[in-house]
């Protein structure tokens, strides 16, 4: 794709309509630093219109009143269309945020297909109501859609995070207002057309590209029943505070500073590729689940440092459209500067720069950062405590297993992690002790069939699988008449 992708209208309730304002959002390629897209900037007035349409569709429209089987048919068509057009979607995502093409295909487009598939499987076995025996008689427990959902998604994995909200919300019978990141709105508007073609009724879906000001109006709107958000901790806290005014339900998938624990018997042939895949190769390090703290036994520190340094130094950095590229650019100039600032801070704190540490010399254009590995890091350093969101990784020594668990848990985050060891039972026992929402033994994996979310500042609630679907329902108990005695 080389031409500028332009949209002149907003998608509100299934129709392309003129925006209320005249401002536009320009999408700039992180590779060429040139404008590659342009879309309308939604205003609070557009939010009000979208909420009114969604409210009407939920309160009086057909979607929540269809059978679950009927909604499954529509959502299946969305999944199938995504699968058929996944290469087109991957190219659009790479155009916007610079994800390496291999990751855009697998981690962006096909992962979104996978989330829809898992949600559909959960819905197929879902009971909208069941009768149970209560203490005073029979009780009918119903699961009813939560209502109008505001879904706010980030720029790093836009389609994966959209799918984690849209698929279960649609299956539950909710109506949805999607606000994609202003850095990456093109794929969300592309998806809007796909959903309409699949048969999503009028009023059910709106897509409003906008900045935080318009987003703040959306999440504080009294017509919203639930906010589903993926993004930064600061934004998540602001959303939770705004939602409190109306007791709006929230689910928040926030940041991470995840630990990979190498036990003393870890096989580096297994651990090193997984750590590379869970850091620099995971969307160029721009992933909330990235294994950015690598905890190494002191006795094996030099060995691990040498092997991981060599692995990082060999990674190909460059044009994300090249299928051999592993690390692409940061999504914006600001994000590149953020990474470089943290690299400077790490050196000032006394960490040892083992490889990387700057902008690749052969890439003068584009917002690139070299894969960077710090050694001699202590867990109290800023680079070990704050989420950098780029290809920057810390090596931290520990003396024994107890200290490794303590360091892993000494974080305000708790989203992901990994444990590596030759004895898988021992490694699994260590994994049980780490306070994190997802952790992998001898690998790095985000399993779309399992609940995903975090402890502590990493969020509230879970996405994916049956647990993700359950988050879009309210529970109603209907106390039935007690049987009369014969």
- For residue 111, what is the domain's CATH number? 3.40.605.10
Same domain assignment for residues 263 and 364: yes
**Residue 108 located in a structural domain:** yes
The predicted model scores a pTM of 0.96
pLDDT score of 484: 72
Same domain assignment for residues 30 and 134: yes
Is the model's pLDDT at 2 over the cut of 70? Answer: no
pLDDT score of 254: 97
**Residue 194 located in a structural domain:** yes
Mean pLDDT of all residues in 255-263: 98
Q: Is 174 a catalytic residue?
A: no
Angle between helix 268-277 and helix 301-313 axes, rounded to 10 deg: 50
Provide the percentage of residues in the chain whose pLDDT is more than 90: 98
Same domain assignment for residues 131 and 71: yes
Tens of pLDDT, residue by residue over 67-83, are 999 999 999 999 999 99
Residues 6+ apart with CB under 8 A from 304: 262, 268, 294, 296, 395
Same domain assignment for residues 350 and 463: no
Tens of pLDDT, residue by residue over 38-64, are 999 999 999 999 999 999 999 999 999
Q: Among the options 174, 195, 288, 394, which is catalytic? A: 288
Same domain assignment for residues 192 and 112: yes
Tens of pLDDT, residue by residue over 171-199, are 999 999 999 999 999 999 999 999 999 99
**Residue 481 located in a structural domain:** no
Same domain assignment for residues 198 and 152: yes
Q: How far apart (Å, rounded) are the C-alpha atoms in residues 137 and 126? A: 24
Same domain assignment for residues 276 and 191: no
Same domain assignment for residues 359 and 375: yes
The residue with tokens 């060429």 is 32
Q: Among the options 183, 195, 253, 370, which is catalytic? A: 253
Asked if residues 75 and 200 have their Cβ atoms less than 8 Å apart, the reply is no
Same domain assignment for residues 66 and 31: yes
**Distances in whole angstroms, Cα of residue 414 to Cα of each of 254, 453, 458, 461:** 10, 9, 6, 13
Provide the percentage of residues in the chain whose pLDDT is more than 70: 99
Q: How far apart (Å, rounded) are the C-alpha atoms in residues 261 and 412? A: 17
**Distances in whole angstroms, Cα of residue 305 to Cα of each of 53, 295, 350, 376, 426:** 57, 11, 16, 10, 24
**Residue 418 located in a structural domain:** yes
Same domain assignment for residues 83 and 224: yes
pLDDT score of 483: 81
- For residue 382, what is the domain's CATH number? 3.40.309.10
Same domain assignment for residues 284 and 393: yes
pLDDT score of 109: 97
Query: How confident is residue 246, by pLDDT bands cut at 50, 70 and 90?
Result: very high
Tens of pLDDT, residue by residue over 285-315, are 999 999 999 999 999 999 999 999 999 999 9
Tens of pLDDT, residue by residue over 403-438, are 999 999 999 999 999 999 999 999 999 999 999 999
Q: Is 394 a catalytic residue?
A: no
Is the model's pLDDT at 223 over the cut of 90? Answer: yes
**Residue 226 located in a structural domain:** yes
**Residue 453 located in a structural domain:** no
For residue 425, give its domain range: 259-448
**Residue 352 located in a structural domain:** yes
Q: Based on the structure, what is the number of domains in the chain?
A: 2
Mean pLDDT of all residues in 376-394: 98
Query: How confident is residue 213, by pLDDT bands cut at 50, 70 and 90?
Result: very high
Selection from 41, 52, 51 nearest residue 19 by Cα? 41
Tell me what the pLDDT averaged over the chain comes to: 97
String of DSSP letters for 199-243: TPPTTSEEE----HHHHHHHHT-TT-SEEEEES-HHHHHHHHHHH
Same domain assignment for residues 341 and 442: yes
**Residue 482 located in a structural domain:** no
pLDDT score of 1: 47
């Amino acid at each position: 794709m080389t031409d500028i992708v332009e949209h002149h209208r907003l998608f509100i309730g299934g129709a392309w309509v003129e925006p209320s304002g005249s401002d536009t959002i320009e999408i700039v390629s992180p590779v060429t630093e040139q404008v590659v897209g342009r879309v309308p900037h939604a205003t609070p007035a557009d939010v009000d219109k979208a909420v009114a349409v969604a409210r009407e569709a939920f309160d009086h429209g057909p979607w929540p009143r269809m059978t679950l089987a009927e909604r499954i048919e529509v959502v299946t068509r969305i999944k199938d269309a995504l699968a058929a057009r996944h290469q087109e979607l991957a190219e659009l995502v790479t155009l916007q945020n610079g994800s390496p093409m291999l990751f855009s295909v697998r981690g962006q487009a096909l992962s979104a297909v996978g989330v829809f598939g898992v949600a559909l499987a959960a819905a197929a076995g879902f009971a909208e109501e069941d009768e149970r025996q209560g203490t005073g008689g029979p009780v009918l427990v119903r699961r009813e859609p939560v209502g109008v959902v505001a879904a706010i998604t980030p720029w790093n994995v836009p389609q994966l995070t959209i799918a984690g909200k849209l698929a279960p919300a649609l299956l539950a019978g909710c109506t949805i207002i999607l606000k994609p990141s202003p850095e990456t709105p093109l794929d969300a508007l592309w998806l809007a057309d796909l959903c309409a073609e699949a048969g999503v009724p009028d009023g059910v879906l709106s897509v409003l590209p906008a900045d935080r000001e318009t987003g703040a109006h959306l999440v504080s709107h009294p017509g919203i029943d639930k906010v589903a958000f993926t993004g930064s901790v600061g934004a998540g806290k602001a959303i939770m505070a705004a939602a409190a005014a109306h007791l709006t339900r929230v689910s928040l998938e926030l940041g991470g500073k995840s630990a990979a624990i190498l036990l003393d018997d870890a096989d580096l042939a297994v651990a090193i590729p997984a750590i590379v895949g869970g850091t620099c190769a995971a969307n160029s390090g721009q992933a909330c689940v990235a294994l950015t703290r690598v905890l190494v036994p002191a006795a094996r520190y030099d060995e691990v440092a040498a092997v991981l340094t060599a692995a990082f130094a060999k990674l190909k950095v460059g044009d994300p459209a090249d299928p051999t590229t592993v690390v692409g650019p940061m999504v914006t100039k600001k994000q590149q500067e953020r990474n470089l600032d943290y690299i400077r801070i790490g050196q000032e704190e006394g960490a040892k720069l083992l490889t990387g540490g700057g902008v690749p010399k052969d890439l003068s254009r584009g917002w690139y950062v070299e894969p960077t590995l710090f050694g001699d890091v202590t867990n109290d350093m800023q680079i070990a405590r704050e989420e950098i969101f780029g290809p920057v990784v810390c090596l931290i020594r520990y003396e024994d297993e107890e200290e490794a668990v303590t360091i892993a848990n000494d974080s305000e985050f708790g989203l992901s992690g990994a444990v590596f060891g030759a004895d898988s039972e021992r490694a699994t026992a260590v994994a049980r002790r780490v306070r994190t929402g997802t952790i992998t033994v001898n690998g790095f994996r985000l399993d779309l069939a399992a609940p995903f979310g975090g402890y502590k500042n990493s969020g509230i609630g879970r996405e994916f699988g049956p647990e993700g679907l359950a988050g879009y329902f309210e529970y109603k108990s209907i106390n039935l008449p007690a049987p009369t005695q014969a």
